[in-house]
Structure 1
């Protein structure tokens, strides 16, 4: 069985943003990575619901 490894991505954050993410993650009982992934998923899920069906 082949196990798929998650993608790794280096990211530069504006000053202060890392601390904001860390504080939010602690409030939500998540790791910083999980907090970032949560918000990315939520943002892109919202984008999907806003798409207009041009085939109708």
Structure 2
């Protein structure tokens, strides 16, 4: 099994959250997207914050 060695540390340019995903846009034009369901505690906190700010 091989391991990827990074020569440059990834730098996040922007972080956004949709109703279903956490998205991180990197400085090298890559984008990482993961379902919020993978992180249930974070998702629950995000929902609580969203409902509080909407009031």
Looking at secondary structure, tell me which structure has more helix per residue. Answer: 1
TM-score after normalising by structure 2: 0.33
Which structure has the larger Rg over C-alpha atoms? Answer: 1
Looking at secondary structure, tell me which structure has more strand per residue. Answer: 2
